[in-house]
Structure 1
Amino acid sequence: MQPEYERPIVTVDIVLMTIVEGALAVALLERDNAPFQGVPALIGGYVHTDEDEDAEAAVRRILKAKAGLEGLFFEQLRSFAGRDRDPRGWSVSIAYFALVPPSLLSGGTGKTLLLRPASAPGELPFDHERIVLAARERLRGKGAYSTIAACLLPKVFTMSELQGTYETVLGETLDQSAFRRKMKDLDLLEEVEGEKRQTLIARRPTTLYRLKAAPSVFDRRI
């Protein structure tokens, strides 16, 4: 007879990041239930084995239900597991990070997203502080070799907005000429024909761009 084993709690937790006043921020939700009821935490929930085809399906379902968001870029971070991370018992969290432009955070679910600096999100329940730190490190590392930083912007953006977003993600200032040259050499962007935007710092309307393809990795540092 096969021995009985305690089944672990299985959840997904999502580090939803955006940019607020030029700094990377993480979106939190107050928990509805115990443990830690009323305490801000990462957006997450149980895997529903009856409807979630896989963990990514659970992420999409939870983002839509709890944050009113669909079609975001997200990527698996890693798993966090152990006996002591959840007071309810042995648990496994499949952690993801997701990126969203601030303009999409209108909140269509009746729940208020709390935006805190990703570098200092405050005391969080479970091991959510560790998960946020891991997501920040992944975004900074991968952001230097990919176009995922553009997922923090609307689909159409100026070159200055793109550079500013990369600087926020990487935590460093980039040379403007070198940045524009790399973008051209890598052939990642296309101009939006027939559209320009007047900005406060430019005398003439500014050219608008969008990504040519889905977020991708390239072979040199930005």
Structure 2
Amino acid sequence: MGTADLTEEEYLASYNVHAFDVPLTSVDLVIFTVREQALHVLLVQRGAHPAKGQWALPGGFIDVRHDLDLDATALRKLREKTGVTAPYLEQLQGFGSSTRDPRGWSATFAYFALIGSSHIELQHGSGADAACWHSISEVGVDIDLAFDHATIIATAVQRLRNKVEYTSLPAHLLAEEFTLSDLQRVYEIVLGRAIDKSAFRKRVKEGDFLEEITGKRRHGSNRPAQLYRIRSGQPTVFFSRAMGA
């Protein structure tokens, strides 16, 4: 009996998913934070072949038995490496070729995450000997990375900088409570340039994505500064004009 004579249920019951060669399929994470007045990305040192000893992005193969979709894989790997769930996670794009991995034809789905650096305890294991934050230069990182991870990071940096121009995303790189000066500084760090204070505060006010924390101010050498946080359940805000426009 040919497959055309089968019901769909019968066809699926007899289908051999291993009848065709399939690529190695993984998810890699570009996890950004701001620390020491600079944008950083999380890297892990590989503890096994291939590329043993080289620095790479955290990630791993899709667990087809437990991961319902690509987002589930990304969230699982994020929790394994940072111990937390990022307030912002976005799929970047797919990267695949017959040459990116010496084990064979491989495809990875890259994500980028934004996370505040406080309260993160970096984890390693599962094929990684160490984990660290590495500063971002003009276009990426200045060390040799495994596979095509340098290209993935450069792509993510460009995506982030483009989106920062007209969205509220940098707020996710801060601690839960922050001042407007903290927020402006994060924008400037990611964009790599200064922003006019009055224009910046006008954009933030128009975006209406923050709420004052009643009765809480940061005290220092200057006048006490009001503390803010992102409104609960607030989606990403898109400004009517780019920063500095």
What is the TM-score with the length of structure 2 in the denominator? 0.84
Q: Residue in 2 aligned with 1:45?
A: 60
In 2, distance between residues paired with 1:41 and 1:199?
A: 40
**SS of the residue aligned with 2:229?**
strand
Alignment partner of 1:209 is 2:224? no
Distance 2:130 2:178 in 1: 27
**Residue 221 (1) aligns with residue 236 (2):** no
3-state SS of 1:96 partner: strand
What is the CA–CA distance in structure 2 between the aligned matches of 1:188 and 1:61, rounded to whole Å? Answer: 28
Gaps of 5+ in 1: none
Q: Is the counterpart of residue 65 in structure 1 residue 84 in structure 2?
A: no
Give the Cα–Cα distance (whole angstroms) in 1 for the partners of residues 238 and 58 of structure 2: 27
Could you tell me how far 1:112 is from its partner in structure 2? 4.4
Label 1:140 to 1:21 Cα distance change in 2 as closer, same or farther (>3 A): same
Partner of 1:116: 134
Deviations 1:99-127 (A, max 9, x none): 11111322366774311122224100100
TM-score, normalised by the number of residues in structure 1: 0.92
User: 2-side partners of 1:108 and 1:196: how far apart?
Assistant: 33
1-structure distance, mates of 2:53, 2:66: 27
Structure 2 gaps, min length 5 = 3-15
Whichever of the two has the greater Rg, that structure is 2
Q: Does residue 176 in structure 1 map to residue 191 in structure 2?
A: no
Contact 2:165 2:242 in 1 (8 A): yes
SS at match of 1:220: coil
From 106, 113, 125, the equivalent of 1:98 is 113
Corresponding residue number in structure 2 for 1:131: 152
Secondary structure of 1:113 counterpart:
strand
Question: Which of the residues 162, 186, 194 maps onto 2:183?
Answer: 162
Counterpart code for 2:68:
E
Counterpart in the other structure of 2:7: none
Find the partner of 1:199 among 220, 236, 242.
220
Helix, strand or coil: the match of 1:75?
Answer: strand
Q: Distance in 1 between matches of 2:75 and 2:93?
A: 17
2:216–2:227 CA contact under 8 A, matched in 1: yes
Contact 2:32 2:39 in 1 (8 A): yes
1:87 equivalent in alignment to 2:130: no
Which structure 2 residues correspond to residues 5-84 of structure 1 after superposition, within 5 A?
A: 5-84=20-99
2:188 and 2:27 map into 1 onto residues whose CA distance is 29
Aligned mates of 1:216, 1:46 — CA distance in 2: 33
Q: Secondary structure at the match of 2:63?
A: coil
What's the % identity of the aligned pairs? 39
Q: Provide the alpha-carbon RMSD of the alignment.
A: 2.0
